[in-house]
Amino acid sequence: MGPAVIPQPVSLAPGAGAFVVRASSAVSVAPATPETRRIAASLAAMLGSRTGPAGSPVALELGGPARLGDEGYELTVASRTVGLVARRPAGLFHGVQTLRQLLPVSGPRRIPAVHIRDRPRFAWRGAMLDVARHFRSVRDVKRFVDLMALYKLNRLHLHLSDDQGWRIAVPSWPRLATHGGSTAVGGGKGGYYTRAQYADIVRYAAARYITVVPEIDMPGHVHAALSSYPELACDGKPSPLYTGIDVGFSSLCIGKPVTYDFVSDVVGELARLTPGPWIHIGGDEAMATKPADYVRFIGRVRAIVESAGKRMIGWEEVGRAKLDPTTVVQHWNLDPAKSALSARAVQQGAKVVMSPAGHTYLDMKYDASTVVGLQWAGTTSVRDAYEWDPVRQVPGVAAKDVLGVEAPLWGETVRSIRDAEYLAFPRLIGIAEIGWSPARGRSWAEYRLRLGAQASLLDALGVAFYRSPEVPWR
Ligand code: TNX
């Protein structure tokens, strides 16, 4: 086995010898901008050296052939030099992540000689955190972002509202956060992000080339909002907060004008706080909304999102409504009838993010003995999470329709960040490879060896990962 990089690069040719990292292994970058300097400084910190002038042994450079694209890079490690070239800073950043995996965690600091040419298969490589069922602190989210970056993931989807909690302050509707955010599944203390905290997460992720995709789920999964503002419910009646784990029982009142004031205010606020182009509006499991109302509602919400200057993304159920080519749908269901909705969305020109529950749902148990997690989509072994292809999931959704992949970590059973890490790792690493690496030549038999080699890095980072017996950990 050559150097064990995950995601597997497009091409990797081992060379002879190794680059020995010393305190004198300075890192230069050209052109030097605040952004490229930051990347060079992070590499220097990793190597235990410093940044230096042109002619330094480790050289970062913006340039290279157009085929590297926006995120690709070319890395040449030789016995006396390390060269990293990319068209864009994101590519330099991803190349640094590769170096991080090539540098031994302990023992002699030798980076094996290698020549790598690399670029992602898909533009969208995401993970979702459900901070609504159980809240996650800014610190925990940042830690998760760091781990995503290590495996070249580039979208963080935050599920910011659900029946059990509303997790972002909206100044014009203050009770959403102060009341709606005050508890969680099981009756814990809940929490919410202030605008400054949310902006902090967005900035932190952006510095790691990860775009935040905020989700406010509607017209279902809204009990926390209805409890905060009873006028949003059709019966207008006050209701206590909900801390169970049922789904499909709440709905915004589709016929009331106040509903659209609410949606406009919330979407407008999120759009202002979010530099990325997408706003996720949920749309799943709206069993308490009449089908015709649902279609009408999604149409209006799409117009609101677009007039806020953003693109709408919704769970595949939004395929029931009228969409347009800027819409993105997120495929999730095992049920073929529901999958047909993703195909219907594609017929309307929409693109698809693939999150098939049986492969990507990080909240499914690994096997029947897993203590946390759910099982409605079956159990999902590390192998199940790895052995699938995004362009062969749904009849009528072909390669050209697939934007990429995303692994959701639903939070009903996920009380601590350690539980979150245990469910996400190592399965999320496999999803990252599915999103980045070419399908050709990929095999579980080979991947499990490279995954096993990640143990020392994950241990050094203190990740509470599941040591699946399927993998030869070393
Ligand atoms: C289905 S997937 C849901 C969520 C649950 C999840 C649990 C989807 C769009 N909706 O509300 O948290 O299953 O696995």
pLDDT of residue 337: 78
For the CA of 330, the nearest atom of ligand 1:
9
Distance, in Å, from the CA atom of 344 to the CA atom of 419, rounded to the nearest integer, reads 36
- Please tell me the residue having the least CA distance from ligand 1 atom 13: 410
- Give the residue, out of 160, 247, 332, 370, with the most ligand 1 atoms within 8 A of its beta carbon, to mutate for a pocket test: 247
Distance, in Å, from the CA atom of 425 to the CA atom of 434, rounded to the nearest integer, reads 15
pTM of the model: 0.98
- Please tell me the residue having the least CA distance from ligand 1 atom 12: 410
Judging by DSSP bridges, how do beta strands 110-118 and 155-159 pair with one another? unpaired
Say if CB 399 and CB 408 are below 8 A apart.
Answer: no
- Please tell me the residue having the least CA distance from ligand 1 atom 7: 410
Q: Kindly state the tokens that stand for 1.
A: 């086995």
Helix (H, G, I), strand (E, B) or coil at 27: strand
pLDDT of residue 334: 82
Distance, in Å, from the CA atom of 405 to the CA atom of 360, rounded to the nearest integer, reads 9
Ligand 1 binding pocket, CB closer than 6 Å: 247, 284-285, 315, 332, 361, 363, 374, 410, 412
- Provide the annotated active-site residues: 285
Q: Considering only CA atoms, which of 208, 99, 90 is closest in space to residue 144?
A: 208
Distance, in Å, from the CA atom of 209 to the CA atom of 178, rounded to the nearest integer, reads 31
Q: What are the phi and psi torsion angles at 23 (to 5°)?
A: -60, -25
pLDDT of residue 338: 77
Centre of ligand 1 from the C-alpha of residue 353, in Å: 16
| Dihedral in degrees, nearest 10, Cα atoms 90, 92, 97, 101 | 150
Centre of ligand 1 from the C-alpha of residue 315, in Å: 10
For each of the chain's 474 residues, which pLDDT tens digit applies? 678 999 999 999 999 999 999 999 999 999 999 999 999 999 999 999 999 999 999 999 999 999 999 999 999 999 999 999 999 999 999 999 999 999 999 999 999 999 999 999 999 999 999 999 999 999 999 999 999 999 999 999 999 999 999 999 999 999 999 999 999 999 999 999 999 999 999 999 999 999 999 999 999 999 999 999 999 999 999 999 999 999 999 999 999 999 999 999 999 999 999 999 999 999 999 999 999 999 999 999 999 999 999 999 999 999 999 999 999 999 999 887 778 999 999 999 999 999 999 999 999 999 999 999 999 999 999 999 999 999 999 999 999 999 999 999 999 999 999 999 999 999 999 999 999 999 998 999 999 999 999 999 999 999 999 999 999 999
| Dihedral in degrees, nearest 10, Cα atoms 159, 160, 163, 165 | 130
